[in-house]
Each structure stands twice: as structure tokens, then as C-alpha cells.
């Protein structure tokens, strides 16, 4: 079984952007005038990787200690079908809390799964 990896540099870039967003809002020095109404939740698209359907699934190595996963692909998509697996990173106040992984074929999301808190 082939396990595909997401680009670690792209993931690091997303984390930097999330931290920068919350730092720019002045949340590192919160006080009684800080606006907490947004809840601090932010999800950013991180990276995508080209994958191929193999035995009715696409297998991926996930970041942040979530391990590896094989996502099921419906049987109407035979072995060898080209697909794209994408990763979104969920953060709260700039700290990663979870990920969303999805696989698309011909631009349509076929399967999606979240890990952690999104």
C-alpha cells in the first residue's frame, strides 16, 4: 500500500500564518478590552498532493501525531484513478487543534474526515 505525505513546508507556512493572524489582533496581551467574540477559531487550507486510488482507498500519512489513515473511495472509481488529497489545519488562537483531510476526484470531494478538534 502506498502512503502519501503532505508537504511539511506548506504546513509550517500555514501555522506561521495562523499565529501571525492572531498576533496581529493583539491577542498575546489580552486584557478586559480584548475582543474574544470570534472564539479564535481559524481554519486554513494547507496543502494538496496528487494521489491514486488503490484497492478502493487512498492512504495518507498525517501530521501532528495523527498517524496514518486509509480513506475509503467508492467502487465507481477503479484502481489507478487520479485524485487529489488536501489538508486543512484547524487552529484556535493560532495553535493547531485538528486537521481536515479530503480527497477529490475530477474536482468533486469524494470523502472527507476530521481528526482532533475542528
Q: Which of 118, 39, 105, 50 is nearest to 77 (CA)?
A: 105
Alpha carbons 38 and 4: distance in angstroms, whole number: 35
- Beta-carbon contacts of residue 115 (< 8 Å; ≥ 6 apart): 62, 66, 69, 98, 99, 100, 101
The pTM is what?
0.85
pLDDT reported for residue 109: 97
Q: For each of the chain's 118 residues, which pLDDT tens digit applies?
A: 899 999 999 999 999 998 887 765 555 555 666 666 666 788 999 999 999 999 999 999 999 999 999 999 999 999 999 999 999 999 988 889 999 999 999 999 999 999 999 9
pLDDT reported for residue 94: 83
Query: Taking the domains of the chain in order of start, what are their residue ranges?
Result: 3-26+38-116
> Which H helix or E strand runs over 52?
strand 41-52
Amino acid at each position: 500500500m502506498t502512503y502519501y505525505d503532505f508537504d511539511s513546508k506548506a504546513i509550517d507556512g500555514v501555522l506561521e500564518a495562523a499565529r501571525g493572524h492572531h498576533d496581529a489582533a493583539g491577542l498575546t496581551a489580552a486584557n478586559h478590552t480584548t475582543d474574544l467574540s470570534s472564539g479564535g477559531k481559524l481554519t486554513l487550507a494547507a496543502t494538496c498532493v496528487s494521489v491514486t486510488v488503490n484497492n478502493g482507498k487512498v492512504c495518507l500519512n498525517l501530521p501532528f501525531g495523527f498517524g496514518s489513515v486509509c480513506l475509503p473511495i467508492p467502487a465507481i472509481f477503479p484502481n489507478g484513478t487520479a485524485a487529489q488529497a488536501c489538508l486543512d489545519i484547524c487552529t484556535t488562537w493560532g495553535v493547531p487543534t485538528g486537521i481536515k483531510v479530503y480527497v477529490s476526484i475530477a474536482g468533486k470531494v469524494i470523502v472527507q474526515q476530521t481528526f482532533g478538534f475542528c
